[in-house]
Structure 1
Amino acid sequence: MMRLISRWQNSAGERVRIALNLKGIAYRYVPASSLEPGEYRRLNPQGLLPALDIGGHIVPQSSAILAYIEETYPDPSLLPDDPALRAEARGFAAHIASEMHALTVQRVRQFLRDELGGGEAEVKRWLQHWLGLGFAALEETLAQRRSPSPFCFGERPGLADLHLIPQMSNARRLGHDLLAYPLLLAVEQRCVTLDAFRSARPEAQPDFPKTDSPA
């Protein structure tokens, strides 16, 4: 069985969990915190989460993992049947992974604050700027679709949707107002009711911090 090494608060790992769930693929979730000190870096020299362990073959980066999943388990596909729509879905997903998430990850924010001396207000302004540009572009992309659909690019959720939903959660956590993006919100409302998305949420993972119940 494949092992997915990740962390509860890792939106790239959440993308992969959603994909595995949508395809009904069995896997074992391994919290990175459960490994011995230094073991994850040894397995994955990049040191970034997530990584997929396929019988000892370690695949880093969610984009590579998702490509492997799609190629190895093609049904049901994460992409539309139409080649042009498939390309649009890939572009939508890439915009989130490369242009948005990459700029808002914790290590980037910490470097801005701690190494470059940016105060909390400056870092927040930086985040809001890039999140605003990114979500506005995604909203307009959906607005320009030739055939509107319940999910980003079709009648069922796929690659674009599994990138979008974790990024919207990240945006809320970072204080970004999403009310200006009604098309994105409509897609989110449909996705979050599905088991594939619910069971991939951070709070559904075994390493999610548990709070003590009140006496």
Structure 2
Amino acid sequence: MLYAKSKFQKSFAVGVVEVVGGDKVGFGDFLSRGSLSLIQFVGIITSNKALDTFVETKSNRVSSVEILRSCGFSLRLSFICGTDMATENKLKLYSHWISSCSFRVRFALNLKGLPYDYQTVTTFSEPEFLKLNPIGFVPVLVDGDSVIADSFAIIMYLEHKYPHPPLLPQDILKRAINFQAATIVSSSIQPFQNYTVVKYIGEKIGPDEKLPWTQSVIGKGFTALEKLLKDHAGRYATGDEIFLADLFLAPQLDAAIKRFNVDMKEFPTLSRLHETYNEIPAFREALPENQPDAVH
């Protein structure tokens, strides 16, 4: 059983968990870190199926996503308990709309149902931003006193601190495939389509060569990913659940198609995955064009 920790919380703590039996289960979904800043009430009608498990994470955040998966149907309401407390405890993401690295993290945060404050970064050499990440790249995540830079590091941090829903499979081989696919994107594709690199290619080789060069680099990476995933993909990159590989692949596919006009005819698996990703609300909300600093 979970107990509210303040007078305000007690007034709303009407749905604490107590699974004794019967057809209906009431519960409160609490996010408590010091003072509770966000209360999520989730009402479940289980259609004569008892709720067998109730997952609580290390940070005392009950995962409503896990409950949704267990019960299949929910009505979810969120209440912010005090603006000051909510602002103080909410995650902060330093991001740039067109950055595919930031896109990955936005996608992960949305999938895990974690609210965050979007901090626009326009000048990467600003002293205040360099205090957060001396190398001057986005994204950067601030979680209380913790500051994490680099999308891979941020996603691993989120996975360990907020493990539901999981972004890594239990199967050892499938987990390795996820890391391999994510690394192909983060090490062998994305760095070469970075604005600074593409600009340099244009200056050294010629402006007309920038796009063909970038398309060639992306195509080489996509060829490797197509071969890797064709025997592992289900609805998503490595099966029927969204995992780490999808977080890296989805933004890369979006950039390749929209920004660099990559011909996808040779990549049927990747093309199908791209269509599937566009059906996911957490992905659509994370799209570059849907960010507050987007330039249309």
- Could you say what secondary structure the match of 1:160 adopts? helix
With over 3 angstroms needed to count, the CA separation of the structure-2 counterparts of 1:187 and 1:36, relative to structure 1, is: closer
Seen in structure 2, the aligned counterparts of structure 1 residues 46 and 182 have a Cα distance that, compared at 3 Å, is: same
Residue of structure 1 in register with 2:38 after alignment: none
Q: Which of 123, 142, 145 lines up with 2:229 in the alignment?
A: 142
Counterpart Cα distance in 1 of 2:199 and 2:105: 25
Max radius of gyration: which structure? 2
Pick one of 244, 256, 262 that aligns with 1:176.
Answer: 262
Instruction: Note if 1:24 corresponds to 2:113.
Output: yes
Aligned pairs for 1:1-215 within 5 A = 1-33=90-122, 37-114=126-203, 117-145=204-232, 148-172=233-257, 173-209=259-295
Unaligned segments of structure 2, at least 5 residues: 1-89
CA distance in 1, matches of 2:123, 2:279: 30
CA–CA distance in structure 2, aligned partners of residues 81 and 37 of structure 1: 41
Q: Per-residue deviation at 1:144?
A: 3.0
Structure ranking higher on relative contact order (CA contacts 8 Å, 6+ apart): 1
Contiguous gaps of at least 5 residues in structure 1: 211-215
Q: Deviations over 1:93-131 (max 9, x none)?
A: 1100110001111011112223xx210233333212211
For the aligned residue pairs, the C-alpha RMSD in angstroms reads 1.8
CA contact (8 A) 1:80 1:154 kept: no
2:284, 2:269 → 1: CA distance? 20
Q: SS at 1:78's partner residue?
A: coil
Q: How far apart are 1:133 and its partner, in Å?
A: 0.9
The percent of aligned pairs where both chains have the same amino acid is: 35
* Counterpart-to-counterpart distance in 1, 2:211 and 2:280: 32
- Asked if structure 2 preserves the Cα contact closer than 8 Å seen for 1:80 and 1:153, the reply is no
Structure 1 residue 35: Cα displacement: 9.7
Count, aligned residues: 206
CA distance in 2, matches of 1:138, 1:36: 34
2:131 corresponds to which letter in structure 1? R
Task: Compute the TM-score of the two structures, normalised by the length of structure 2.
Answer: 0.66
Q: If the length of structure 1 is used for normalisation, what is the TM-score?
A: 0.89
* Structure richer in helix, relative to its length: 1
Greater alpha carbon shift after TM alignment, 93-102 vs 26-35: 26-35
Amino acid at match of 1:177: D
